[in-house]
């Protein structure tokens, strides 16, 4: 037998959403007559926009022709998509098309990007947090074992609770790598420009790199909330940004996202003879992707290109408006029950504070049994998520309305 990467043994038994799926499967098998309303994992329910479908058909038809057939594509994405992204999403922000790396989704990019850094780097995550940031660093050996308090002993936690309005304080100890997700999954909170600038400045002053997950930027409704970290001065020197078509355009099954890696963001490596050399992350990420990845499929990239067309953009906006109506309805439903909620205004997630003393997995089970509603227990996102519960606006409108009706008669 060969030695395994024992860091994997430090992980929780299963990935959060796999554990939820398992519990739901068991419940459904025992109660086949119950109609469940699934507002747990943030998976979209509306079909792909017509412009996307049209682009997919066209790209598929091209594959039947000698002159249209495509084999291996550029690992970092076709020029047509990289140019469309910069034109549509980064206008005026001084991002070059060759700083955009197209991929099969933000989850993979975020999980993989940490590979560019030394095992000894200190990592800061918000708490609660999208589990991929923590788990991928556990696998890489940066997090160490989990302590009795439910925290990995090697990670720096930045608690985000109702007490600080879900806005993390700067860390007391210097991290090398900082993960931020805004609009936030799971709390649905946002940072204004001033709040995000504090983080960009902190990263600059402390030689840290910022991983900015902007997967939910298209859900921002209010003015003054940055959609990209590059709206902040200095971010091009310290931040890598991740974006996804999953929630904004319904690509959870199709798979496409991208990372923006400005050439000016650098790490360091020991120089022969002493001292340190600065190394652009762009160069390393290019080397990593060309070695381990063969690129997002051509037909999917054509579909993503359509999202950046005026018609595609308008179709996506209409779908997003529907999800946000759901989120607003969920938010109101919990407010009417007298509970404190965050999110549902600039993000598709509604984060509910449970009544005092109620634990989040216990609430998950009783909501499933009592009302047939699937949500996500806050504790699954980290210890500071205990006592909270997340529901998503990604269900269809009728199911969401029915869930809120069921909630009215549900005994907490
Ligand atoms: C979530 O529910 O948090 C997301 O759907 C997970 C993901 O995007 O991978």
pLDDT (tens digit per residue) in 67-122: 999 999 999 999 999 999 999 999 999 999 999 999 999 999 999 999 999 999 99
Could you tell me the CATH number of the domain that includes residue 342? Answer: 3.90.1150.10
Residue 81 maps to a domain = yes
**Cβ proximity of 215 and 185 under 8 Å:** yes
Both 318 and 221 in a single domain?
no
Which pLDDT belongs to residue 169? 97
Instruction: Measure the CA–CA gap between 344 and 207, rounded to whole angstroms.
Output: 34
Instruction: Measure the CA–CA gap between 388 and 297, rounded to whole angstroms.
Output: 39
Which pLDDT belongs to residue 411? 81
Which pLDDT belongs to residue 407? 93
Asked if omega into 186 is within 30° of 0 (cis), the reply is: yes
Interval between CA 43 and ligand 1 midpoint (Å): 7
Q: Which domain holds residue 266?
A: 52-308
Burial of 202 (0-12, 13-18, 19+ CB in 10 A): middle
Q: At 181, give phi and psi (nearest 5°).
A: -130, 115
Tokens of 367: 């909501």
Both 175 and 40 in a single domain?
no
Residue 412 maps to a domain = no
Which pLDDT belongs to residue 285? 98
The list of the chain residues with pLDDT below 50 reads: none
When divided into structural domains, the chain yields a total of 2
Tokens of 229: 């970290």
Chain-centroid distance of CA 18 in Å reads 17
Indicate which residue's Cα is closest to atom 1 of ligand 1.
42
Residue 1 maps to a domain = no
Q: Is 107 near ligand 1, meaning CB less than 6 Å away?
A: yes
Residue 146 maps to a domain = yes
Which pLDDT belongs to residue 176? 98
Please list the alpha-helical segments (H only) found in 45-192.
50-62, 79-89, 106-113, 131-139
Pocket test for ligand 1, best of 112, 130, 392 (most atoms within 8 A of CB): 130
Strand locations in 160-263 (E): 177-181, 209-213, 239-244, 257-260
CB atoms within 10 A of CB 141: 15
Both 317 and 304 in a single domain?
no
Secondary structure element (H or E) that encloses residue 156, with its range: strand 155-159
Instruction: Measure the CA–CA gap between 234 and 203, rounded to whole angstroms.
Output: 9
* pLDDT, tens only, 331-373: 999 999 999 999 999 999 999 999 999 999 999 999 999 999 9
Which pLDDT belongs to residue 115? 98
Q: Is 42 near ligand 1, meaning CB less than 6 Å away?
A: yes
Residue 56 maps to a domain = yes
Interval between CA 298 and ligand 1 midpoint (Å): 25
């Amino acid at each position: 037998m060969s030695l395994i990467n024992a860091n994997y043994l430090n992980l929780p038994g299963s990935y959060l959403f796999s554990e939820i799926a398992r519990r739901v499967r068991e419940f459904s098998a025992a109660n086949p007559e119950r109609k469940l309303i699934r507002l747990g994992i943030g998976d979209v329910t509306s079909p792909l926009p017509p412009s996307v479908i049209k682009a997919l058909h066209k790209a598929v038809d091209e594959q039947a022709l000698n002159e249209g057939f495509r084999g291996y594509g550029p690992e970092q994405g076709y020029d047509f998509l990289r140019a469309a992204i910069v034109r549509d999403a980064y206008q005026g922000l001084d991002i070059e098309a060759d700083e955009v790396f197209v991929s099969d989704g933000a989850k993979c990019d975020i999980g993989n990007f940490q590979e560019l850094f030394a095992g000894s780097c200190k990592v800061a995550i918000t708490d609660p947090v999208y589990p991929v940031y923590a788990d991928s660093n556990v696998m890489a050996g940066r997090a160490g074992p989990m302590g009795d308090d439910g925290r990995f002993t090697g990670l720096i936690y930045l608690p985000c609770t109702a007490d600080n309005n879900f806005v993390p304080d700067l860390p007391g100890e210097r991290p090398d790598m900082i993960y931020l997700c805004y609009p936030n999954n799971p709390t649905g909170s946002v940072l204004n420009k001033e709040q995000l600038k504090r983080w960009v400045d902190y990263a600059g002053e402390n030689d840290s790199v910022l991983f900015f997950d902007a997967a939910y930027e298209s859900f921002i409704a209010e003015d003054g909330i940055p959609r990209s970290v590059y709206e902040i001065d200095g971010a091009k020197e310290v931040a890598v940004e991740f974006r996804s078509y999953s929630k904004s355009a319904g690509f959870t099954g199709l798979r496409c996202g991208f990372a923006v890696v400005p050439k000016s963001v650098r790490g360091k490596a020991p120089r022969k003879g002493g001292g340190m050399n600065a190394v652009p992350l762009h160069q390393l990420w290019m080397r990593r992707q060309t070695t381990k990845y063969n690129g997002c499929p051509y037909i999917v990239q054509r579909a993503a290109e359509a999202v950046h067309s005026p018609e595609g953009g308008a179709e996506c906006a209409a779908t997003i408006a529907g999800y946000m109506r759901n989120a607003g309805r969920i938010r109101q439903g919990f407010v009417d029950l007298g509970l404190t909620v965050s999110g549902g205004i600039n993000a598709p997630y509604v984060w509910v504070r449970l009544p005092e003393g109620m634990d989040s997995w216990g609430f998950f089970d009783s909501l499933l049994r009592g009302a047939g509603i699937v949500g996500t227990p806050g504790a699954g996102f980290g210890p500071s998520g205990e006592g909270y519960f997340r529901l998503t606006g990604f269900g269809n409108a009728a199911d969401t309305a029915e869930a809120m009706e069921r909630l009215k008669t549900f005994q907490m």
